[in-house]
Each structure stands twice: as C-alpha cells, then as structure tokens.
Amino acid sequence: MSIRKKLSGLMKQLFCVILMLIILINTSACSFSMEPMNYPQAKSGNIDLTDWSWEQDGIIPLDGEWEFQWFGSAEPKTMDSNRSNYIQVPGTWDNKVLANGQMIRNQGLGVYSLNIVNQQEGKRLSLRLPNIATAYELYIDDRLEMKRGVVGYDASSSTPYQLPGFVDFEPRTATTSLKLVVSNFDHRKGGLRTAILLGESEQIHRTDRNEISMRFIIIGCLIMIGFYHVGFYLLRRRDMKNLLFSLLCFFVVLRMGVMGDSFLIQWFPSLSWSGAIRMEYILFVLSGWAGYGYFHKMFPREIKRQGFTLFSVSAILLVLSIVVLPPLTFSSLIIVYQIYVLLIGFTILIGLVLARIRRLEGATLEMIGVAGFLFAIVNDMMFYNGIWGIRDLVPYGLLFLILMNSFIIFRRFAHTYERAELLTEQFKDWNNTLEKKIEERTEELHASYRTLEDAKLELERMELSRRLLVSNISHDLRTPITLLQGYLEALRDDVITEEQQRAATIRLMLKKVEVLNVLIQDLFELSVLEARKVDLNIEVLMLGEWKERMIELYSMEMEEKHIQFRCELEEDKIDNVRVSIDIHRMDRVFSNLLYNAIRFTQVGGTIEITFAFDPSDRVVKILLKDSGIGIHPEDLPFIFDRFYRKSDSKVKSSAGSGLGLAIAKEIVELHGGTIQARNAIEGGCIFEIHLPRLDDKEAG
Ligand code: ADP
C-alpha cells in the first residue's frame, strides 16, 4: 500500500477522532453547566419541586431568586434578620443594589437562603457545590453540612479555600431549608459564579465521575503529547519549537490542576488558595508566551522574532506582578493578563493567515487550530467574567490545536518517508552500478597511468638519445676534422715535400671530406624522417618488378666483389602482388642493408633477397640474408639505434656512420611496415621487412 493511501486512511481516522472529541466536549460541557430546558426556578427564596421527578428529569440546578442578606464586613447581630432581599443565583455580587437599597460589593459576607418545597421524602439526595469565592458554610435545616475555608467578616478573620464539594442528605420533611454563608475578601469577585446542583445521590456522583474521567482523558492526552514533544526536542536539540509546544501542553495541564476540580489541590492539601490562584494566573500568562514561541519557530517570517522578545519581556513583568501583589489586587488586574493572551492569540492568527496566503505547508491546519483555541480562550474569559459561555473550554481548545498539529506532523512524516523510500531506491540503483563504475574508472586510471608511464619513458629515452646524438655527432665530426686540420698544417708547413705524397694526402683529405658530407647528409635525412616531415612519393609496384630492379641495381657490384647474389620470389604466383612504396627511399633502405651485408661478408659468401606474400594477413615479407659474420647477440637490440656500431673495434674501423639502419627503419615505418634483424642458425644474419600489401580497392 502506498504512503499516500495510508495517509488518507490516517486522515479519515483522525477526522473521526475529532468528531468524537467534539461530541465528548459537548456532553462533558453539558453535564453540569447545561441545565434542563424547562425546570423550576426559585422564587422569593423558595423552589417548588412538586412536579419534579428525579428519575425522569434528572439533576436540577437550584437557580433563581434566593433570599439574601448582606453584611459586608459588619458582624451580623443575628442571621435571621427579617429584612427580605433577594439575589439571582448563579451570579457574582458585582456592586449590585438590593431591593432595600443596599449595595453589595464583591468583598464582604452574605447569607443565601433557599427553601426546597414539596419534595419527595425519603430519597437520598446530593447537593453539588461549585467553587465559591472564597469561603463558605452550608447549613441544611440549620445543621452545618459543609465548610470550605473559614468564613469571616474581614480579610484577617477569613481564610479562602476552593474545592467543589458534595453534600448527601435525606430530607425528612417536604421542605428543606438551605443556608449558605459566603465570605470573600481575597478575590475580585464574590458570590456564586456557577449553579448549585441538586439530584439523587447516585445521579450526582455518576455525573461527577463522568466529568472527572473526561477531564483526565484530556489531561492524559495533553501530558502524552507534552512528553512526545519533549522526546522530539531531546533528539533534535536545535528544534526549539518542540520544547515550546511541550511547555504549552504542561502549562495548560497544570492550570487545569488548580482550577475547577482542582486535582492538584486535592493531591496536595498543603497548597494554599493564594498559591493555587497565583499558579493559575502565572500559567495563564506562560501558556500564551509558549504558544507564541512555538508559532514563531514554525513560521518565523510571519510570526516575528521582535514579537517574541516583546511578549517574553511582558511575560516576565506580568509573572512578577502575580508573585508580588496580593491575590485581590492581581485578580482585579485580570483584564491586563487577558489582553496579553488575546494579543498573542490574534498576532498568531494574523501571522497564520499570512502564512496561508503564502501557501506555507501546514498553515491552513494551524490556522484552524489556533482559531479554535482562541475561541476557547475567549469563551473562558467571558465565562469567568460572568458574561457568557461554557465552563473551561481552553483544554479542549488546546486539544483541538494539537490534533491539527498532529495532522501536520503526520503529513511531514509521510513526506519524509516518501523521500526516504525514494532515496533508498536511488541508493540501491547506485550501489548496483557502483562496482561496475569503479571497475571502469580504475581501468581508465590504469590506462592513463600507463600512458603517462609510456610518455615518461619516451621522454627519458628521447633525452638520452638527444645527449648521445650530440656527443656522437661531435665525435664523428671532430675526428675527420682533426685529421683534415693535421694534413692541412703539414701541407702549409711543407712537412710533406714529395709531390706524390702530397697528392696522396690531398686524396685522403678529399675522402675524409666526402665521409663528412655523407654523414651530414645522413643526419639531415634522419632528422627529416624522424620528424615525419617527409612526403613519400608513393608508386604502385608489383613484386616481380621490384625483384628485377634489385637484380639490375646490385648483381654487377656483387659479382665484382665475388659475392654470390640471389634475388627471387618465394612463389612465382606472387609476381603480380602489388605494393605501394616510395621506390627511391626503398632503394635507400636496400642499399644500406646490402652494403652492410657486403661489408660483413667474406669473399665467396652469399647474399640473398627473398620476396614472400602471406595472403592470410595480407603482408609482403622481404628477407635479406647474408652468410657473413652475423651480429653479436648483445648488439642485436640496438642496431637500429642512431650511431650504433658494433662494439668490436676491429670491425669499427671499417664501420660507416652508424645511421644507416636507423634511416632504414624510419623509412620502413613510414610505409606502415616493420623491420627486424636476427642471426641465422647456419651463420650470417637475416633482416626481415614486412610491408602491407596494397588493397585492390586502394589500387583503384
Ligand atoms: P654503419 O653505417 O656503421 O653500417 P648501420 O646502422 O648501417 O651503421 O649498422 C649498424 C651496425 O650494425 C653496424 O655497425 C654493424 O655492426 C651492424 N651490422 C649491420 N648490418 C650487419 C650485417 N649484415 N652483418 C653484421 N653486422 C651488421
């Protein structure tokens, strides 16, 4: 299954989870705060439950007109004053004016009374008391049944404490009287913010359990997500956004711990009311700060760094104010903290809208998440200011934001996996071809190394031969020149007086000059040939014609030297095999070879030339064999080198320039052929020339 399909499956599941959550939020939010649509309201301090059936109608909020006596901070003479005043429950005191013209403030002491009339007797009922700011005592039929904090007439005599409570009781008569003494000198708002609920014990406790378990599901989720992001952060320290997000989760969880059901207050009874309210406010500010930090790291171009610095400094100041000021003061400043968080929320939202316009990845989902979260914040603010709303939506809002975030994370994971899969495929391919590539590259390297090595050897060889050439030339030129100089000086100084001797000396000198001339001509020819700057004058020649030409050129001379000369074709049929050669240069090759052969062959010896043709490799072979002294095996590898002469000094005297074979080799190679020398078993040496046969096509 492809990643894309898996992803869409995952998205659908997540969508279902969101739907379920929304339903859960609704049910849980409804459990205590959403009242039945039509239920009896208290009037003039009485609530009539004649038509109320616990089984069918369930829990009832004791809302409506409660009798109320206001004492402010004056100690009451008696609780049963007959001044009848009424107050709307739920509701905070908020400088309301009572019917008797008395104005109530948020700080002071008040007594609420309510008669529950016409109720069924003998049922086990429960009252669920919400957080009441900030201390109260509940009397049922004048018996003290529940107490939170210490009720007092001023700040010093009262002790604030908050925790929801339950009172189980069994009405003995049809009318039950409730009396609630409430004092507040520590919080900005006094009175009953939320409803007191009445129901069958079992109903009340079941509903409470449901609400608590729902809250702990949310808390569990937030803690999990928080640790999940801490884990991410520990693995990738550079990624501060994960740390900030986990902080946001933990701050919200802790804040839940000191609000509403206040699990932290239940777990740590030593945690004072003022400590808890400080925590609540500090965590409120810090949640805003962590949220901004997170979104700044996510979209740094849209949600700017300057904003983060500004909000961080403000957070420090606000936290300090909460630590330093008494709860009554800082809770009265709540609007400042709310503005701080709202500013953060809207800055983020604007940044996200910008990111959405710029089509940045994840911007849409984050935008939806933040809008939801912001809605929850505004809801809670309105609720706690007694304006409107459902109690404590922020945790759900955060959960919604987290879910949106999870979509983004899943999408990123999916993209990363896809890329990883692709890369793995590429790596596999690459790996498969890698060995072959390495082999090829190594072979290329070897080849270029060999070329370099050859070039180096060639350079060394050329350098050596250049040095040899220079020394050979100077030697070969100096010797005859020194001789000539000696003869000339002798002639000048009349050392040679005899006419005959003078003539002989001049002849000798002329011979030396001739040798010099030949040497210089050979040198010139060789240098031209080696530089490959010669244009061959190619002619097509049949082997038969070539053979005849050899006989014509050399047979007479051989006869004079008393050497038997043979020149023949290996088979008659090759008579018309054609070669393309520069005839005059080939003559030069053969004259070199033949005069060498004559030089090293005794009178009565033989010299023979054989022309052969091998049709398989289309090569013309010319063998030149003499019955002379042969070549010393030590000399064989070098005889084609320039100026190489036999090391034997006796022979050396009769030697030529030492350039003949070098010139012959150059000419043969210019024709695309090869020349080699070896000794014959029966004595003498053999020179073997191979020339490519002219193709019929080339012959045209
Ligand atoms: P040179 O001008 O000295 O003949 P070459 O290049 O023609 O120079 O020959 C080089 C050497 O090869 C000669 O000096 C000789 O020692 C040896 N050489 C060439 N041809 C023969 C041959 N037919 N028999 C024996 N030695 C030979």
pLDDT at 313: 96
- Does 445 have pLDDT greater than 80? yes
Q: How many other CB atoms are there within 10 angstroms of residue 576's CB atom? A: 9
Best CA proximity match to 35, nearest among 64, 59, 51: 59
Three-class secondary structure assignment of 489-526: HHHHCCCCCCHHHHHHHHHHHHHHHHHHHHHHHHHHHH
Residue whose Cα lies nearest atom 17 of ligand 1: it is 646
645 CA → ligand 1 middle, Å:
6
282 CA → ligand 1 middle, Å:
112
Nearest 10 degrees: CA dihedral of 648, 651, 653, 658? Answer: -80
590 CA → ligand 1 middle, Å:
13
Average pLDDT over residues 355-367: 89
651 CA → ligand 1 middle, Å:
10
- Does 409 have pLDDT greater than 80? no
448 or 385, higher pLDDT: 448
pLDDT at 653: 43
Could you give the CA distance from residue 409 to residue 348 in angstroms, rounded to a whole number?
Answer: 19
639 CA → ligand 1 middle, Å:
7
pLDDT at 609: 96
Could you give the CA distance from residue 135 to residue 125 in angstroms, rounded to a whole number?
Answer: 23
Residue whose Cα lies nearest atom 16 of ligand 1: it is 646
In percent, the amount of the chain with pLDDT more than 90 equals 45
pLDDT at 115: 94
Cα→Cα distances 690→26, 590, 624, 630, Å = 106, 13, 12, 21
Ligand 1, atom nearest to 656 Cα: 2
Report long-range pairs for 311-318 (Cβ below 8 Å, ≥24 apart). Answer: 311/340, 311/343, 311/344, 314/340, 315/285, 315/286, 315/288, 315/289, 315/340, 318/285
Ligand 1, atom nearest to 597 Cα: 23
According to the CATH classification, is domain 46-206 in 2.60.120.260?
yes
Most confident of 65-74, 285-294, 388-397: 285-294
According to the CATH classification, is domain 538-699 in 3.40.50.740?
no
Could you give the CA distance from residue 80 to residue 93 in angstroms, rounded to a whole number?
Answer: 21
- Does 618 have pLDDT greater than 60? yes
- Does 390 have pLDDT greater than 90? no
pLDDT at 638: 86
Do domains 46-206 and 538-699 share one topology? The answer is no
Query: pLDDT averaged over the chain?
Result: 86
634 CA → ligand 1 middle, Å:
13
- Does 304 have pLDDT greater than 90? yes
- Does 284 have pLDDT greater than 70? yes
pLDDT at 697: 43
pLDDT tens for 29-73 read 444 444 456 789 999 999 998 888 888 888 999 999 999 998 887
Residue whose Cα lies nearest atom 12 of ligand 1: it is 639
Q: Cα 52 vs. chain centroid, distance in angstroms?
A: 69
Ligand 1, atom nearest to 645 Cα: 14
Q: Which two tokens stand for residue 54?
A: 């616990």
Number of H helices, E strands in the chain: 17, 20
520 CA → ligand 1 middle, Å:
18
Residue whose Cα lies nearest atom 21 of ligand 1: it is 596
Most confident of 99-103, 196-200, 385-389: 196-200
Confidence of residue 585 (pLDDT cuts 50, 70, 90): very high
pLDDT at 625: 96
Confidence of residue 695 (pLDDT cuts 50, 70, 90): low
681 CA → ligand 1 middle, Å:
19
Residue whose Cα lies nearest atom 22 of ligand 1: it is 597
Ligand 1, atom nearest to 626 Cα: 23
Residue whose Cα lies nearest atom 23 of ligand 1: it is 597
pLDDT at 656: 66
Average pLDDT over residues 18-25: 57
Residue whose Cα lies nearest atom 26 of ligand 1: it is 631
597 CA → ligand 1 middle, Å:
8
Q: Cα 491 vs. chain centroid, distance in angstroms?
A: 96
Average pLDDT over residues 467-485: 81
Choose the residue to mutate in 596, 601, 609, 642 for probing ligand 1, maximizing ligand atoms within 8 Å of C-beta: 596
Ligand 1, atom nearest to 661 Cα: 6
Average pLDDT over residues 199-218: 90
Min mean pLDDT across 40-44, 80-84, 468-472, 664-668 is at: 80-84
Most confident of 75-79, 213-217, 348-352, 491-495: 348-352
596 CA → ligand 1 middle, Å:
6
Average pLDDT over residues 118-141: 89
619 CA → ligand 1 middle, Å:
26
In the chain, what are the helix, strand and coil shares in percent, each to the nearest 5? 55, 15, 30
* Domain regions of the chain by residue span: 3-31+209-412, 46-206, 474-529, 538-699
Confidence of residue 111 (pLDDT cuts 50, 70, 90): very high
> Ligand 1 pocket by C-beta < 6 Å: which residues?
592, 596-597, 600, 626, 628-631, 639, 644-646, 655-662, 685
519 CA → ligand 1 middle, Å:
15
Ligand 1, atom nearest to 687 Cα: 23
> With contact defined as beta carbons under 8 Å apart, do 137 and 147 qualify?
yes
Q: Cite the DSSP H helix spans in 262-324.
A: 263-267, 273-298, 305-324
Min mean pLDDT across 111-120, 428-437, 457-466, 550-559 is at: 457-466
Residue whose Cα lies nearest atom 27 of ligand 1: it is 631
Average pLDDT over residues 411-420: 86
Residue whose Cα lies nearest atom 7 of ligand 1: it is 660
pLDDT tens for 528-570 read 887 777 788 899 999 999 999 999 999 998 999 999 999 999 9
pLDDT at 593: 94
Could you give the CA distance from residue 391 to residue 416 in angstroms, rounded to a whole number?
Answer: 41
> With contact defined as beta carbons under 8 Å apart, do 28 and 219 qualify?
no
Rg (CA), the chain: 60
Q: How many other CB atoms are there within 10 angstroms of residue 556's CB atom? A: 11
326 CA → ligand 1 middle, Å:
124
> With contact defined as beta carbons under 8 Å apart, do 175 and 115 qualify?
yes
